[in-house]
Amino acid sequence: MMAGLLSTQYKSTLSKLKLLRNNPALSVLTSTQRKYSSKDGAGIEYLHRSVVPTMHYQKSLPRLPVPKLEDTIQRYLAAQRPLLNEEQYSNTEKVAQDFQSGVGKQLHEELVTLDKKNKHTSYISAPWFDMYLSARESVVLNFNPFMSFNPDPKPEYNDQLVRATNMVCSAMRFMKTLSAGLLEPEVFHLNPAKSDTDSFKRLIRWVPPSISWFGAYMVNAYPLDMSQYFRLFNSTRIPKYKRDELLTGDKGRHLLIIRRGNLYVFDVLDRDGNLIKSAEVQAHLKYILSDPTQAPSFPLGVLTSENRDTWAGLRQKLLDAGNGDALHLVDTALFCLCLDEEVMRDHIHISHNMLHGDGCNRWYDKSFSIILAKDGQAAINFEHSWGDGVAVLRFQNEVFKDTTEKPVVGPGSQPAAVDSSSAVCRIEFKLNEELKAGITKAKENFQAAVSKLTIDAMEFKKGGKEQLKKKKLSPDAIAQLAFQMGFLRQYGQMVATYESCSTAAFKHGRTETIRPATIHTKRCAEAFVEQPGQHTVEQLQGLLNECSKYHGQLTKEAAMGQGFDRHLFAMRYMANSKGMALPSFYQDPAYAAINHNILSTSTLTSPAVSLGGFAPVVPDGFGVGYGVHDEWIGCNVSSYPARNVHEFLKCVHKSLEDIFTVLDGKPIH
């Protein structure tokens, strides 16, 4: 009875959620809705001491719903409509209806039965892990995204050694706070005045975990899934033939540092699990930064950029050559800190460096790496299989807040007088000719891949979130419309578009896809781009309104687990795992086309983050990272040679100019 009530009330209220979105894992819940307390007296070991235990809500989180099959097919056909001509659509509609009444019905029923047997998780969790871990392409460009930190507001704290020391210490405070269960639970507050208060927290902590979610729901607060957090630390992806494995432990007390392609470790926790003194961290990092050892001719890190089967074979050869202990040190390290030699020139240089770098000063398989350039520019690059960025963004926000508000060292701080030469270990690898040849080949493959990538950025300064909200338009809908208009202006067509939306409001939720190319954006884009003189300003404003309303509906559906992409994916996965012949629905060229996402988009706004980015997901695509700020809109876009990213951004800028001109009540020409 209680479960039914939870489910019904949850679904009726969750539609109030505006945006629960993330980059191929990045969440955009704003800082005003997610306040993390940093109370005095938290002590040197912890960021804060949450009144409510970190995992208090986890047990009672609602389960990710399996959508109704008829709803999924209807949503799928609606998404296909703007991408197909009449004949293609007619054929796809028939194939979809046959699937719904035939083999699709059977697969759906089996999926629902399986889901009911596995109430501890979600129906998408295992297939989604499998998709990532079975992929054989390099994780570089294909999967790992980056999010760069804003500079420290105090310029003198952006010194590489100072900032590295502060970030390591804050990262360890985060880890300690998390493992002690003292990290504030991740909660989306619709009414912070009621739910984000000390009195509510003191009350809810006594509500049993089995029903605690319902208590939060009563005050319009939505706890989010935190099941991925344990993979942040001491975690790495291990290459294996056909399917990789995730290794996570809790025994490692050491940090992995890479500089000039050399790998170092030192303990940041003592034998009792306490943080070593910040002055000691500073001394050890200073020792590494001043180490005269030259860059190795055969840097091991570049192997993590290889095809996964190739890397699996070379890793086995490394083990056979007696490098087991060395690899174990890398795999079990708390996280990776990359100290780069370069000074960043501009945003484009930052994007290239943080997304892929030179291939040698990275270990791309670690759950995350903090990268610090010579000038203190910092970013996180993370491996994507274990999580979708919600945990990474929370970590980044906390580390930025802690390092800027409570830095443990400053420009005048003196490193401890300790013997770093005995505390710091430079990892030595035994390499034979076969391994050297493998590293040389990996370097060549890496260079060939990244040399094809172009990144460009754009800032539109004539309006942003504030202006759009005054007009009662969704800022995200308008940004997405500008991409549709931009692509139409450049290439004369509408194409498959992907926008990631987090389903972290559910137990073991991952992501769902918002499909921003709609019949409304097609109608609106054609009116603005192809027939600007044929519509009045009022008509164009009406079209903008329609786009905004429909995009808002799609966003709410996706956040509630009511998109179509994951449901169709799970049924296909089920058919495949049963050894069934692939149903004709999945062989329809239109299904392949809508999953060939030429525009892959993800949005992020956070006080800690200056920009984020990722590569296109298909060779003829764009990777669009964007943020809609109060007074301006920014895009950070990547492409391969098949597309012209510079021209695309000009077309997007022109589209935004036209939209804001119309919103000002003026005609466009």
As annotated, the active-site residues are: 384
Cβ 653 vs Cβ 460: under 8 Å: yes
The single residue listed with the structure tokens 């679904």 is 11
Ranges of H-type helices in 406-536: 420-423, 433-450, 465-470, 475-491, 519-529
Vertex 7, ends 78 and 112: CA angle to 5°? 60
As a whole number of angstroms, the distance between CA 384 and CA 498 comes to: 17
Taking CA atoms, 155 is separated from 168, 184, 281, 576, in Å, by 19, 30, 21, 55
| 3-class secondary structure per residue, 235-252 | EEEECCCCCCEEEECCCC
7 closest CA partner among 560, 563, 568, 566: 560
As a whole number of angstroms, the distance between CA 27 and CA 86 comes to: 37
Per-residue tokens: 457: 């950025």
Q: Partners of 378 in the beta sheet?
A: 372
**Coil/strand/helix, residue 397:** helix
598 closest CA partner among 633, 631, 628, 638: 638
| 3-class secondary structure per residue, 93-128 | HHHHHHHHHCHHHHHHHHHHHHHHHCCCCCCCHHHH
Residue-by-residue DSSP string for 144-162: --EEEEPPPSSGGGGSHHH
> Beta strand pairing status for 454-460 and 633-639?
antiparallel
Region of residue 446 (left: phi > 0; alpha: psi -120 to 50; beta: else): alpha
Query: Rounded to an integer, what is the distance from CA 439 to the centroid of its chain?
Result: 29
Taking CA atoms, 236 is separated from 23, 248, 367, 459, 587, in Å, by 20, 7, 5, 36, 35
337 closest CA partner among 176, 163, 180: 163
Task: Phi first, then psi: give them for residue 337, nearest 5 degrees.
Answer: -115, 120
> Beta strand pairing status for 336-339 and 254-259?
parallel
As a whole number of angstroms, the distance between CA 562 and CA 555 comes to: 9
